[in-house]
Amino acid sequence: MKHRSSLRFLGVVVLLGTLLVAGLAGCGGAPKVDWDLTVSGAVDNPLTLAYGDLAKMDQMDLSDILMEKSLGEDEVGSWSGVAVDQVLEQAGASSGYVSVTALAADGYAIEVSRDELQGAIVALKKGDEWITEAEPDKGPIRMVCPQTPANRWVFQLQEIQVNE
């Protein structure tokens, strides 16, 4: 009897260990989000990237970025996401493009010059948290342009139109 109890206990330990490892493996993964980013305009390969596609691309970290707000206190934060340059390159943006128009889900649109896009990312994370979980009303993705005040950043980004 003692032998059977030991085997049962060992089986439970192995099962719990397997579940723990499987659970931890899923912790670092991107959340499942139904969201697309379209790149259009002066590009050779107009494309649509799903949220999951963006999460699988090389991520760039921006640390200690000043978020100058038009309302409320300015804040310093860190962001992670895909370099806008990488997205534009994948779409085959015209080498002579002068700006992009960033469009949000609520219809907001703003033209951002090529110079303002230096170091810009399509952010998926604010700090160590996915934007879709940390700030659901401002996610799931945001264009963060560290060279400009935050009123030129676009949350709930849905489309980037490349302008010549």
What's the pTM? 0.80
CATH number of the structural domain spanning residue 106: 3.90.420.10
Q: What is the pLDDT of residue 75?
A: 87
- What parts of the chain have a pLDDT lower than 70? 1-28
Q: What is the pLDDT of residue 113?
A: 97
Q: Are residues 139 and 121 in the same domain?
A: yes
Q: Are 144 and 62 in contact (CB under 8 A)?
A: yes
Please tell me the total count of domains within the chain.
2
Question: How many other CB atoms sit within 10 Å of the CB of residue 1?
Answer: 5
The CA distance from 125 to 80, in Å, is: 5
Note the pLDDT tens digit of each residue in 3-31. Answer: 555 445 444 444 334 333 333 333 458 99
Q: What is the pLDDT of residue 51?
A: 98
Q: What is the pLDDT of residue 28?
A: 56
Could you tell me the residue range of the domain that residue 19 belongs to? 1-30
Q: Are residues 14 and 53 in the same domain?
A: no
The CA distance from 76 to 124, in Å, is: 17
